[in-house]
Each structure stands twice: as structure tokens, then as C-alpha cells.
Amino acid sequence: MKTAKMVLSIGMTALLGLPLATAYAESNTSVNQQTSSSPAAAQEIDSAFFQQQKQAVVRDIAGTSTSGSTSAASASQTSEAEQLKNADYTYMTVTGEVYSSKRGYLGAAKRDDEVNNTTSVTQFNPNNTFPVNQINGGTTGAFERRQLDFEGFDSITSDITLPAVSGLGEGEQPWVYYGFDSERGPAIEGGYAYQTGTHRWLPYIRSNGFYYGDSAVQKYDGNQIKSVKFYLAKTVSTDTYYNAYFVVDNSQILIAPTKWTDSDTDSTSVKRVTSIAKKAFDGNNIQGTTMNQRYENVQVSRFNEEQAYPWSQYTEYTEQRNGKWYGTLDNSPAYVHRNWINSSIFKSNN
């Protein structure tokens, strides 16, 4: 697991006059241009998260001196820790968005791809357009998919803003959902499905069929839904299989049986998706539009861990297996459009 402390080191090296990552330096101009133009973005910063990580780094620097250290070395560590207490921490997510603990959202940075030495991963350029039949799920519709590696995840929680829908063609249906994949084979998803006849969104779980919520829990375009959680758990510890639970603001909305067993708990991946589904999607034949869907405050946890952590503390993955691309990608770049943390799906005129 990649810790937040490692990510934060990008900002601290700059503040302490140490060499700065080349990838971040390349984006410095675009970052500065966006600093003053994103006041709303600054409100989205999790100040508590920054403070928590800052204290962790301060403790590492000021509190790890050994009894054999010289007084000069100890004084140097103390001075360095004092600098960090008032530092402006720069934080870069795995997808390149750069934040400041004092100034908020700064812009998007480029960085070199990280290599997970425990997994064989083929280099992937997200701007490349691949035929839909070379993408896992590619013929099912246009989508933005963000996915974490197979590290045993059992829950995901976030605030969800549903998109505005317009111009749907025949057989097109928008979806906003979370999902779990197992290396052993089972897959499951839960989220909101757009009802094309009534123009509303219903919560659902897909697990050996579809389980839908009723009209009492329906939502509409643009609704902001707080604390939407999807997780796997057994009813009792002696059960063979896990259930999937869909919870909104601490209220259980849906429950569904799954094929998950204890053998899946150390190799479960989690994803979040916004899409317009269409059977036999060929990369060019979706007419509809979904505008400004948003996931915020995304937290995930793993089996046998009580604590949830921000999505950005883990590494997103993309890999090619058996001639298909899996994991984080856009299907296709011509359909996926982003404005800060908003995602829209529509066919580009370019």
C-alpha cells in the first residue's frame, strides 16, 4: 500500500529546498495559472487529512532520533520539524491533480508512471484510443473507469453527484456505480441506474441478477447524495458467502447475496464508474449525454481493517491480459470529458 506520507514528500522537498520531482516541475506553469481561478475547489480540500499527515511526518523527523545521536543532529531534526509545522503541504493524487493545504486546488501535474513490482503491468497511455473489443467491457458502452489493484478491498464510500442526462438514443442507459472484482472470477456492482421511461435514478445491486430500490429512495439529475457506501460482509462469521450492502447516509437501502468467499478476501479490486451503456457499442454510436457527474471524499477499506483511507493513497492500475485492457481507462477518450473532478460522457465533435 502506498501511504499518504510518501505522496506528500513531493511537496515537502520543494519547501525544504531539496530537488523537486521532474514530473511536477514540468507542470509548474499550468499549476500557477489555475491557482487564483479555482476558489470553489479550495473548499473541497480535506483539512483534517492534511493535518493528520503533517503530524505523521513531523513525528518521523523529530521523534525517531536514537540515543546515540549527537546533540547537533538532534537540534537539526528539531529545526526541520519546526519548519514542517507551518509548511504549505503540496499533495498530488495518483491521477495528477495537485492540492495545497493552504491554497487549495492548484491544477494538474504530469508525473512518471509508477511500477508495481509485484504485478506484471503493461505500460498504458490513457490518451490512446483502442478498439472497443480490446477493452474489458468496451462493447457495453462509453465509460470512465477508475480502479484500484487487487489488494483485498471490501468497501467504498463517497459523496455522489448524479449527472444531467439528455439526448439519449435507442437502447442507451446511464449508470453511476461502484464495483468489486475478484481475481478468482466473481464480479459485483452497486450504484444508481437511470430509468429512461421515468427520468429518475434508482439504486441497484447487480449480483446474479438485478436488485433495485423502490420509489422511496429514487433520485434525480443533479442530486447530491451524501455518504454512499457499498461493502461486502458476512451475516455471521460462519457463513460461506458474503453479502453486498448498499447504504446511503447510514440507511441500508439494498442487500444482495454474492459468490464471494474467504478465498477472495486478499485479492479483491474496487472500482468506480460513470457510463452510458449501449449493447454492441462500436466506439462511435452513442448519441446521449451525461454532464457533470462527480465522486467526492472517496474512501476505501480492506478486509480485516477497521480504518478507511482516501482512494488516492492507493495505486490505480491498468494492465493488458489476453488481448484486453483492464483497470483504469476511458472508453474512449473521444467520449470522456473532465472539468476538475466532474466527469461527462458525450461524443466529442473533434
In sequence order, the 6+-apart residues with CB closer than 8 A to the CB of 83 are 15, 16
pTM of the predicted structure, to 2 decimals = 0.65
Which amino acid would we find at residue 328?
Answer: T
122 domain-assigned = no
Size (the chain), residues: 350
124 domain-assigned = no
Long-range contacts for 231-240 (Cβ within 8 Å, ≥24 apart)?
Answer: 231/154, 231/155, 231/156, 231/301, 232/154, 232/155, 232/180, 232/188, 232/258, 232/260, 232/268, 233/154
Q: Residue 282 pLDDT > 70, yes or no?
A: yes
Q: Is 41 left (phi over 0), alpha (psi -120 to 50) or beta?
A: alpha
The reported pLDDT for the residue numbered 56 is: 53
- Secondary structure element (H or E) that encloses residue 194, with its range: strand 187-195
The reported pLDDT for the residue numbered 53 is: 56
117 domain-assigned = no
The reported pLDDT for the residue numbered 130 is: 80
Domain that holds residue 68: 4-108
213 and 332 in a single domain? The answer is yes
Give the least confident one: 45-54, 163-172, 211-220, 338-347.
45-54
Domain boundary among 108, 142, 163: 108
91 and 139 in a single domain? The answer is no
Write out the DSSP string of 272-311.
Answer: EEEEEE-TT--SS----EEEEEEEEEEEEEETT----EEG
Residue 10's closest CA among 89, 78, 80, 85? 89
C-alpha cell at 243: 453479502
142 and 280 in a single domain? The answer is yes
The domain tally of the chain equals 2
The reported pLDDT for the residue numbered 103 is: 56
Give the least confident one: 47-61, 71-85, 114-128, 329-343.
114-128
User: Please, which pLDDT band fits residue 129 given cuts at 50, 70 and 90?
Assistant: confident
Inter-residue contact 296 to 44 (CB < 8 Å): yes
Q: Residue 300 pLDDT > 70, yes or no?
A: yes
168 and 307 in a single domain? The answer is yes
Interatomic CA distance for residues 134 and 17, integer angstroms: 46
191 and 320 in a single domain? The answer is yes
CATH number at residue 152: 2.60.120
320 domain-assigned = yes
Q: Residue 62 pLDDT > 90, yes or no?
A: no
330 domain-assigned = yes
The reported pLDDT for the residue numbered 127 is: 57
User: Please, which pLDDT band fits residue 186 given cuts at 50, 70 and 90?
Assistant: confident
Inter-residue contact 205 to 244 (CB < 8 Å): yes
140 and 101 in a single domain? The answer is no
14 domain-assigned = yes
C-alpha cell at 270: 474496487
Give the least confident one: 21-30, 99-108, 155-164, 236-245.
21-30
244 domain-assigned = yes
175 and 38 in a single domain? The answer is no
208 and 310 in a single domain? The answer is yes
104 and 156 in a single domain? The answer is no
121 domain-assigned = no
Interatomic CA distance for residues 341 and 197, integer angstroms: 29
Q: What is the mean pLDDT of residues 297-306?
A: 93
101 and 141 in a single domain? The answer is no
44 and 142 in a single domain? The answer is no
